[in-house]
Amino acid sequence: MNRRQFLGATAAAVLTQSAARAQRPAVRYGVDLFSIRSQGWDAFQQLDYCAKLGARVVHFSEIRFIGSLEEAYLRKVRAHAEKLGVEIELGMRSICPTSSAFDKSQGTAEEQLTRMVEAARIVGSP
């Protein structure tokens, strides 16, 4: 390999490496609200706090943390999160009817899951 070939190969390797780094998704810092559940905050206060921490994603791991599954309310929560530049993830407790964490008062597993999928769509949760 002569000098010209070496320099060309080195430049190509550096460019390839830079392009690969640029294509990697940035790590997104997030907060699971279960970890701050004792604060007694509503969804808006929780989003504000997480945004101040620099979180990019806030995980509402249970329905009680978001407060309500009513569409108008969920749209307000989503708008607030978007204003803060924060993404929302929704979670829920168990949908296994034999689990001690399953809440039969909320309906069948299918009913609960259907409500949560719709709520996730409204708030933009993946």
Q: What pTM value is reported for the model?
A: 0.75
- In terms of DSSP bridges, do strands 57-60 and 30-32 run parallel, antiparallel, or are they unpaired? parallel
pLDDT in tens, the chain (126 residues): 666 665 566 666 655 565 555 565 677 789 999 999 999 999 999 999 999 999 999 999 999 999 999 999 999 999 999 999 999 999 999 999 999 999 999 999 999 999 999 999 999 998
- Beta strand segments in the chain, E: 30-32, 57-60, 87-90
| Locus of tokens 């993830």 | 89
Let me know: does 84 contact 48? Beta carbons within 8 Å: yes
Pull the structure tokens for residue 20.
């690969």
Q: What is the pLDDT of residue 44?
A: 98
Q: What is the pLDDT of residue 28?
A: 76
